Structure 1
Amino acid sequence: MTTTQSIVDLSDFAWERLRDRVQGLTDTEYFWEPFDGCWTVRDGVPDLEKLPVEPAPFTTLAWRITHIIDILQEERTATWFGQQPAPGDGEPPVPRTAEEAGSALSHAYDVWRRRLSALSQEDLDRPMGPIAGPFAEHDGTAFALHIVDELIHHGAEVGTVRDFYRGTHPEDPFSAALAGELTPAERPALFAEAAAARKWELLPQLADLGFEVSARTESGFTAAHLAAGIGDVEALRFLVERGADLSIPDARFQADVLGWAKWFDQPATTEYLQSL
């Protein structure tokens, strides 16, 4: 495997994790300011100071995602490697909504990935020269890894802010579903979410209400995957009786339900599944 492909693979892994973490982002959460003095995006312009502010302000998801877009798509991720931006690359935008942010983030990553994938070993080994200013003596590998590091650590920040938001804005979709206030069409993954939250006692009621027993979570596994992986034969038996599809591969490991039972070394669920 080439050095370029190794860096592309690392970048893809970081991107896929971030892409999953921004699913379902709303405008309210996108602009959420948990403290006074937050930096955010106002009227399409990110808050910024020419000189560093100490301590650094807390930044909203709008600010952080806009920053990631800029890092990936800005001109220097082409020119510092000796490339020229493609006509369709465009300038890094400042998204005004969560929906715009998701689209812009995907485009920015596509631009970065194409530029990265085009690098030869010579490009990676060559010092970047005067165009890189104080980093002139640094080679292309150092710069490529720097951009991937930015993607990783800012992506982790996005995930952490989303966790903070969820913790301070708790929702109970399960009670809403049981009360008839949330339908399967409105929350198709709720059955799998209940299993992921270890709310096994709710599964019969949710199934009776029409929630799909083979639905996947955002992470790409079903309730049956989870039951097999933790060794819960009774839960797995219930799912089989309700028609759960045991052949569905999960999104991360591409393993079916039996594969999860084996991988997590659960002899009871492995034996049960092999008996079917």
Structure 2
Amino acid sequence: MASTLPTNPSLDRLRDDARRLQRAVRAADPEAIGTVRQYHPRPDIALAGKQFALHDAQLTVARRYGFTGWATLVHYLELAAALSTDPSAVNEAALDSADRFCALTSLRYDENDAPPRWQAAADLLAADPALVNRHVWAAAAAADPAALTRHLAARPTLATTSGGPYQWLPLMYLCYGRAPLRRTAQEVLSAARLLLDAGADPNSGYLWRGLSTPFTALTGVFGEGEQGPGRQPRHPFADQLATLLLERGAHPVDQQTLYNRMFRPDDAHLELLFAHGLADTDASPWERRLGEAMETRDQMWRRQVDWAAEHGFADRLELLARHGIDTTGATLVVSSFPTDVNARDEEGATPLHQAAWAGDLALIRRLLEVGADRSIIDTRFGSTPREWAEHAYQNEAAELLREYRETT
């Protein structure tokens, strides 16, 4: 099953969790005893003695986080220590220009992802074009075939060497780069081929803040995620670059990609991945490496099916079923126009907030025409629909809301 570890997990922290649980059980704390009964495979035996044993506390903690035992949890943490990156922990102010360029252009999958960062990267490169010559990671982040050729000619092993601000392989910087550098598809693909020909692993990736779903090169290419396409866009040449990676051996079961791209109805990523074996391929290198820490295929598909059904993505359900994915029990929720256009959801947002976040211009117009309140503030963030659109970099939606307000 999938791990439910907190971000940036550490063995010391989890050892402390186990000791606290042991002390609480020994003090007859009802909540702690309930935790043991919920997660320990033999709670009556574990709780029968006068002294609740540390190994029982450790087993309970491991099971609570989705592992079969303490040893497998420790093994995962040892792996994660070498594979984990927390982009937010990098002090960008202390970086030299080449590293700062790599940091600014890369999708980080945190709250700082936004077009101004990528423009700042482009401006930095324009002011200092020679920074791509300083190291291979900057050349890869810039998708600069000429600079990459020079670096790899001097030292071919650089294609398989981690470095730069996030200690990524060069291919990762290329795939996560979003600076508007006006590269052509030919230049980007040429840069990627140079790295792959020199031995770059098409299944390169890292563990974001130690969590157990890898962010791979494909993940970076396909983009998107919880913050939406304005803040976490696809690579400008996503289809071509993803196809190249898949043809060169990238595994089509990319769980983070499936998650990041499930929020919107477009299925281009699924079509491409299915064409390369997504439905019935064997275990990926990451599944073999991380084992039970990763979610199962059944869990992966159930999330896809449930989200598609709950959000009215009929075409996706049909696509999944056509490729042999079990959609049994999925009840398609057909979206309908709200009867109360100013009704709040569980987070205090209105339909107009959600339409603004999604950049759904047609729905925004319909809601406004029937009296949706464009000045209403949600109860979680204290923001108007226009501010939601602005935060998501849904510029057309923000402009529509602004203009509508001015002309009514």
- TM-score where L is the length of structure 2: 0.21
TM-score (norm 1): 0.30
| Greater gyration radius | 2
Q: Which has the higher contact order (CA 8 A, sep 6+)?
A: 1
